[in-house]
Amino acid sequence: MLKQRVITAVALLILLVPALTATNPQALAILTLILCTLGAWEWGRLNNLNFPYSCCLGVLCGLICVSCWYLKVLDLTNYYFWLFCSVAWVLIGALLLRVGAEGWLKVYRPLRVLGGIWALCATWLAINQAKAMSVNFLLSVLVLVWVADIGAYFFGRAFGRRKLAPSISPGKSWEGVWGGLLAVFALSTIWTWVDGYRLETYSDVTNLLSLNIQGVSFFTILANKGILIQISGLIFMVAMSVTGDLVESLVKRSIGAKDSSRLLPGHGGILDRIDALLPTLPIAMFWSLM
């Protein structure tokens, strides 16, 4: 299992890093379009749709994203759209965690299906608009979620006593959440300092290390808005990353599935890897435009 996980992780990095650092935005747009289309297919399966209908759902998601691309929606950063996405995630996420897996199955299935498509398309749009802001910005959001997850895992293993949501994800603990938050605060401090040093030292460089990473990170944007916004923003982002993870766990538990699919050997499915990014990427866009 470990060997599979490592091989799959390396393969994903081989695809992701060139697309992320490429000056041409189309590489990342195409890669993430494929991932979101596959995620939509998984979403159909998690909602008890058969294989042909799940494939149609994947095609629908892809067509919506391609239409946004063709209509140049990728070039439009709208504060109110990202505000709507953020509020929707907060309200719907809180409601779903309250009703649990049994309550989820009582929701009208077309609403469940369309809700997943909306989340995937919004995330695709957020990824590519974040890349347009700068690779530094997008990478900082991705690493924030990864560090929160890693911190939660190790702190939970070491100190976990109080279960966070035992009926949804028994392995998660409140201690893990606090550990993930501490890790993100440390990450934010280091990244903000590096941003300041880099901008001061390389202010006249237009393409640092030929990686197109000029621009400030999400952490620096928050820091520039004041200490209260910075702290509340980081707490909110960590909380929503946990919410995204728990919502996907809830959906899987409702049908007795362990993984969203077996597309990624050793890692499960696409949704298993991006569940925490579904709320956090749109919310990061909202915070950056405040």
How far, in Å, are 55, 144, 247, 251 from residue 218 at the CA level?
A: 35, 9, 24, 30
The token pair that represents 168 in the structure block = 């949804």
What is the mean predicted confidence (pLDDT) over 18-28?
86
pLDDT surpassing 70 at residue 2 = no
The rounded distance, in Å, linking the Cα atoms of 99 and 105 is 10
pLDDT band at 203 (very low <50, low <70, confident <90, very high): low
What is the pLDDT at residue 119?
A: 96
The rounded distance, in Å, linking the Cα atoms of 266 and 273 is 11
Percent of the chain beyond pLDDT 70? 92
Mean residue pLDDT across the chain: 89
What is the pLDDT at residue 3?
A: 63
What is the mean predicted confidence (pLDDT) over 138-167?
91
Angle between helices 135-159 and 227-255 (to 10 degrees): 70
pLDDT surpassing 80 at residue 214 = no
Query: Which amino acid is present at 11?
Result: A
pLDDT surpassing 70 at residue 243 = yes
What is the mean predicted confidence (pLDDT) over 47-71?
94
Q: What is the DSSP letter of 268?
A: B
What is the mean predicted confidence (pLDDT) over 206-220?
62
The rounded distance, in Å, linking the Cα atoms of 233 and 86 is 12
> Which has the minimum average pLDDT: 35-39, 141-145, 167-171, 272-276?
167-171
pLDDT surpassing 70 at residue 17 = yes
What is the mean predicted confidence (pLDDT) over 192-214?
61
Query: Which amino acid is present at 204?
Result: D
What is the pLDDT at residue 22?
A: 82
pLDDT band at 207 (very low <50, low <70, confident <90, very high): very low
The rounded distance, in Å, linking the Cα atoms of 205 and 127 is 25
Where do we find the tokens 């979101």? 36
Nearest of 131, 141, 136 to residue 215 by alpha carbon: 136
What is the pLDDT at residue 286?
A: 94
What is the pLDDT at residue 222?
A: 93
pLDDT surpassing 70 at residue 208 = no
Q: What is the DSSP letter of 75?
A: G
Percent of the chain beyond pLDDT 90? 66
Q: Report residue 211 CA to chain centroid gap.
A: 22
- HSE on the CB side for 140, CA within 13 Å? 31
Angle between helices 79-106 and 277-289 (to 10 degrees): 150
The rounded distance, in Å, linking the Cα atoms of 238 and 155 is 15
What is the pLDDT at residue 170?
A: 86
The token pair that represents 165 in the structure block = 């949501």
What is the mean predicted confidence (pLDDT) over 143-164?
91
pLDDT surpassing 70 at residue 209 = no
What is the mean predicted confidence (pLDDT) over 42-49?
95
What is the mean predicted confidence (pLDDT) over 229-256?
95
H/E/C letters for each residue in 196-223?
Answer: HHHHHHCCCCCCHHHCCCCCCCHHHHHH
The rounded distance, in Å, linking the Cα atoms of 237 and 241 is 6
What is the mean predicted confidence (pLDDT) over 16-45?
91
Where do we find the tokens 């530094």? 136
pLDDT surpassing 80 at residue 260 = yes
Nearest of 28, 51, 33, 30 to residue 41 by alpha carbon: 51
pLDDT surpassing 70 at residue 5 = no
Given a contact cutoff of 8 angstroms between Cβ atoms, the answer to whether 271 and 42 are in contact is yes
Query: Which amino acid is present at 221?
Result: I
